[in-house]
Each structure stands twice: as C-alpha cells, then as structure tokens.
Structure 1
Amino acid sequence: MDAIHLKDLAFFAYHGLYEEEARLGQRFLVDLTCWLDLSAACESDEYEQTVCYAGLVKSVEQAVTGTRFNLIERLAAAIVEAVFKTDERIQKVRVKVEKPGAPLPVPSGTASVEIMRNRPGIT
C-alpha cells in the first residue's frame, strides 16, 4: 500500500501528569504515516485524487492542542482518531508522539510513543 509521511510536526500543548506541565506547557513533535491507495493520484496528477497534507496537519494540530491528556499514549490515539476522520481513503495510520521536555530523571533525553492502527473494520 502507498503512504504519505509527515515528519517533525511541532506543536505547543499542555499534556502530562504534573501540574507544571499543565501550567507551563511544552513542545510536542509528531511523525505521521498514512497508508492508502495513491494510484489514481499517480496516474492523473490531480489534487483531488490525494489527501490534502494541510488538512492532515490541521487535524493533528486540533488533536494535539484541543484537549489536554495525562498520557502521550492517549494523545497518540486521539491523533489517529482525528486522521481517520479527515479522509475515508486512509486505511492505516502510524503516529509517533515525542515529548522532548518529558520529566525524566536524567539531564537530557526524550520520551516518545508510537502506535499503528487500521481503520475500524479493516483487518
């Protein structure tokens, strides 16, 4: 299956378990892969035959900034849900959410989660 990749999308949001994270916020990075059949776009060179990248970014942005979550695992799932709503042609999604400012007990490092989901009803 064909894929569209969006990488290093950066958003400022307020996710996390700790009060400081809710108050101060921080940057989150998102990598997104959407699998779908792009053969019509490849043949026609017509915009309508593909998924709008800007629309995908807006859906991810709304998922990241629209609701506060304790866990980046839940944030990743919300992004997947939003992407599936964006375009019915998308059959599978992989999303990686990175939290560069995660409160880790070492001087530097990042935390991230990655999930992959098929559209409900697709195996």
Structure 2
Amino acid sequence: MANDHNIYMGSGNYSQSIKGNYIQGNFISRSQDLSEVTAQIQESLIQLQTQGYTPQDAQQKVASDLASQANNDSQAKSRLLKLRQYVFDAGANGLIGEAVVGVVKLALGLLGISL
C-alpha cells in the first residue's frame, strides 16, 4: 500500500496502517534522541485518535505502554526519567504539545514516580 509507513522501534515496529486499537513496540530505545521520543509519542497519539480514541483515552493508552516498557526495561525507565525533565522544559517553552507532557505525567504516575 502506498500510504503505509513503518518505523523501527527497537524490538517492535510502529505501523501507521495498523487496524485496531494498539501500538506495538517500544517508545524509548537506547539510540533515540529525546526529541525523537516526544515526536513518536505525538505520532502515536494522532494514530490512536484517528482510530476513534478520545484524546484522553489515547494519552492513557500511550502512557500505559510507556510505563509497561519502563517496568520491563531498566534502561527504558532511566530514559523515561531523563525524558521527564526534557518534556517539562520543552513543554514550558512551548516546543512540544500539552498532550505529550500529559502522557509523560501519566506514565510516571503509573510507575509511582513523583513529578
């Protein structure tokens, strides 16, 4: 299909053409720049919303996936902690959207990590 896009994400793939209600793969890999992670989160939110998720449900789904990845991979958890500061600084400066900031807040909350 001409409009299919696949992005390699470590141990999984993000596919824009997935039908259904989940995103497969890892958000945070060791080789990713933190700005790439935030862009990937935003892309996932958009994809889920085009599948019919409300913005809040999309944020919850992506946050849950991030938290799950961090629970299963100590390096992903460490990068999520670094992402926390990056996201809050970038969010305060208007460089990234509130939705991405919300996802990171939710993910950290699911891990029991204070903001």
Same fold (TM over 0.5): no
Q: Whose strand fraction is larger, Structure 1's or Structure 2's?
A: 1
User: Which entry has the higher C-alpha Rg, 1 or 2?
Assistant: 1
Taking structure 2 as the reference length, what is the TM-score of the superposition?
Answer: 0.32
Taking structure 1 as the reference length, what is the TM-score of the superposition?
Answer: 0.31
